[in-house]
Chain A
Amino acid sequence: MSVHGERPILEARGLTRRFGGLVAVDNFSFSVHEGAIHGLIGPNGAGKTTTFNVISGFYAPTAGRVFFRGLDISGRKTSALAAMGLVRTFQGSTLFQEFSVLDNVRVGRHLGARAGFLSRLIGTDRLSEREADAKARETLAFFELEELAGEPVSNLPHGHQRMLGMAVALAAEPKVLLLDEPFTGMNPEETRRMMALVRRIRDRGVTVMLVEHDMQAVMNLCDTITVMNFGALLVEGAPEAVRNDPAVIEAYLGSATGNGAGDAA
C-alpha cells in the first residue's frame, strides 16, 4: 500500500441529500486520508455524482456535514471551496468548448492570476498574466497536450477532452481533487496513461478521490475504496477486501444496469 497520512483531509458525516421524495444520498459517511487515492464506487444511480455535488458546494446538504482539513465546509460556495483547495471535475466533457485548449487552462488559473480591476484596465497585470500563461502551458505539458494549445477544444478527440478537463482542474492547484468518472469513454491505452497521470498527480501532493466504473482501474489505482448503494454506505476498505465482499458482489449483480458488474464479480 502507498504511503499516506492518517489525518483525514476530507470527511463526510451523516451526509444526506434529498430531491423531493428521492433520497439520493442517505446518511453517508466516509473519510479520505491525505495523500491517498480514494475510490468511490457503486451501481448507477447510487448517488456518487450527487455526493460530489454536495461536497463541492453545487448542492447544499439536506443534512449532515462535510469537513475539509478539519473545517466544517457544509453548504459553502463552490468558488470559495476551490479557493481553499477543493476542486472537482465533471462527468463527461464539461469544457469551455468555444475556447482554445490554452484558454481553457488559463481560466483554470483564475485563482493564481490575481490582479486589481484598474491594473487589468491599464495592463499592469501583464506580469501575473505571463506567469499564469506559463503555468497553464506547464499544466498542458504535464498531460502532453502542449502541442494542442492553440486548437479549439471542439477539435480534440474525446480522450484528450477528458484529460483537458483534468488539466483545467489541476491548474487551480487543488489539495484535494475530485474526479468524476475520469476513464469513461477511453480506450485501454488511454486509460493506462490516465492512471499513470493520476498517480503522478498524487505524488505531487494532491489527494485524489475518484468515482469510476472501470473496476480494474479502480482496484489497481486506489488505496481505499468506499462502496455506496442506494445513497448509503455499503462497505469501505482496501481493494482486495472490497473485491471479495459478498455485499458488494450482491449489489453489483443485483443492479440491472451495473456497468462494472462483469469486472466486480
Chain B
Amino acid sequence: MPEPVGAMPATGTGGSIGRIAWRLRPVFLFAALAALPYLLSYSQQEIAVLLVINVLLVSSYRLLTLTGEWSLGHVVIMGVGAYASALLAKQAGVPVPLSMLLGGCMAAAVAALLSFPLFRMKGFYFLIGSFAAGEIIRLIWKRFTDPFGGPKGLKRIEPFPDIETGFLSIDFYEPVNYYFLALVVVSASLFVLYRIERSRIGLTFHAIHWQDRLAESVGVDTFRYRTLAFVIASFFAGIAGGLYAHYIGAVNPTRFSVDQMVYVLVWAIVGGTATFHGPILGVVVLTVINEIVLRALGLDTARPLIYGAILILSVLYLPNGLESLGPRLRALWQRRRGGSAAAGSEPA
C-alpha cells in the first residue's frame, strides 16, 4: 500500500523546534552521510562503499516485490550489469561511466527476455524459475572463458577514471572518493525508484500484487506491468553491479551466487518491504551489526549462523520488519506521556 503522504509524527509540546527538525531531516541525513567516511577507518570506508552499493541492490529488489513476485535471480542480474560494464570497458574501450549505464541497460534487457518464460509462472514457481534462470546465466559465465573468464572471472577491470582538472583532482581508488561517487549515483537512483513507486505505476504494481485478476479486468496488462517492474529493478541492480565491478576491479561467478541472494532476502525481510525505507534500514542495520559488532567480537566467520538467527528472531518478534519499529516506539512513547495525541497518530 502506498505510504501516507507526508506522514509526520505528532510532535506534541516540543512543538515548533521538533517540527523544524523533522522538516530538516534530509539536511541532517546528508550532513551525516557526508561526515561518515571521515569517522571511519580505511577498511571501514571500504565497507561503507559496499554498503551504499547494497542499498541500491536491495531497494531495486523491493520494486520487483511490489508486484508480489520474489525473485532469486536479483544478484545474478546485478552480475549481468557488472560483467557487461567490465567487458565493455576492457574489450571495447567504452569509457567507464558510460559502460556502467550500458551495464544497467544490459541487465534490463536480460530481464526483459527472461520475462517471457518467468511471468508464465507466479509465486513459488516464479521463485524457482528465477533461481534456475540465474544458475543458467552463472553457468554461461563459468563455461565460456572467452569473454567471461570462466570460473576465475574477470580481473584488472578498468577503474573509474580520475578526475583531473587544474585545481581539482579526484582519485577514485580512494574509498572516500568512491564512496561519494556511489552515494551520488545511488541517491539519484533511489530518487527515481521513489518517484516510480509514488506514481500511478506504483499504484498499479500494488494492485497487481493484491488482486491481479481485478486489475486485469479493468484493463491492466499484468504481464506488461510485471515485466516493467522486473526490467526497472534489473536496470538498477545492473547499475549496482557496475559500481561494484569498477570498485573491486574483479568479478567472478561465485560473487553472484545464491548465497549472496540470501543476504539480500534477509536484508529485505528483516527491514520489511512495506515501506521504501524498510529494506534500506535492513541492509544498514545488518551491515553495522556484521562489520562492527561481529568483527569486534571476532565472530565474523559465524555470519551465516548469526544472520539466520537474526532472521528467525525478526520474523518471530518483528514480523513487519525494522520499519515497523519506529511507529511502534512512537505509539509507545505517546501512550506513556498519557498523550491524547496518540489518538491522532498514524497506524503502522
Closest 7 CB pairs of A and B: A82-B219, A111-B219, A120-B199, A172-B218, A79-B221, A78-B216, A107-B207
Q: Residues of A with Cβ closer than 8 Å to B?
A: 56, 58, 77-80, 82-83, 87-90, 94-99, 103, 106-108, 110-111, 113, 115, 117, 120-123, 125, 129, 132, 168-169, 171-172
CB distance from A95 to the nearest CB of B (A): 7
A77 to B217, CA, bound (A): 9
Question: With A120-B196, A120-B199, A125-B200 in contact, do A110 and B210 touch (Cβ < 8 Å)?
Answer: no
Across the two chains, which residue of chain B brings its CB closest to A170? B218
Question: With A78-B216, A172-B218 in contact, do A94 and B211 touch (Cβ < 8 Å)?
Answer: yes
Partner of A121, one of B1, B199, B207: B199
A56 to B219, CA, bound (A): 11
Q: Are the CB atoms of B217 and A117 closer together than 8 Å? A: no
Q: Are the CB atoms of B214 and A95 closer together than 8 Å? A: yes
Instruction: Tell me, yes or no, whether B36 is within 8 Å of chain A by CB.
Output: no
Across the two chains, which residue of chain B brings its CB closest to A94? B214
Q: Are the CB atoms of A77 and B221 closer together than 8 Å? A: yes
Q: Are the CB atoms of A107 and B218 closer together than 8 Å? A: yes
Q: Which of A88, A89, A108, A115 has the most CB of B within 10 A?
A: A108
B:190-217 near A, CB below 8 Å = 192, 195-196, 199-201, 203-204, 206-207, 210-211, 213-217
Instruction: Tally A-B pairs: CB < 8 A.
Output: 91
Q: Are the CB atoms of B207 and A79 closer together than 8 Å? A: no
Q: Are the CB atoms of A110 and B217 closer together than 8 Å? A: no
Q: What are the residues of chain B within 8 A of A169 when measuring CB–CB?
A: 217-218
Q: Are the CB atoms of A117 and B210 closer together than 8 Å? A: no
Partner of B200, one of A78, A129, A171: A129
Question: With A115-B200, A169-B217 in contact, do A95 and B211 touch (Cβ < 8 Å)?
Answer: yes
Q: Which of A82, A83, A115 has the most CB of B within 10 A?
A: A82
Across the two chains, which residue of chain B brings its CB closest to A79? B221
Q: What are the residues of chain A within 8 A of B195 when measuring CB–CB?
A: 120-123
Instruction: Tell me, yes or no, whether B222 is within 8 Å of chain A by CB.
Output: yes
Q: What are the residues of chain B within 8 A of A56 when measuring CB–CB?
A: 217
Q: What are the residues of chain A within 8 A of B214 when measuring CB–CB?
A: 90, 94-96, 107, 168
Q: Are the CB atoms of B220 and A79 closer together than 8 Å? A: yes
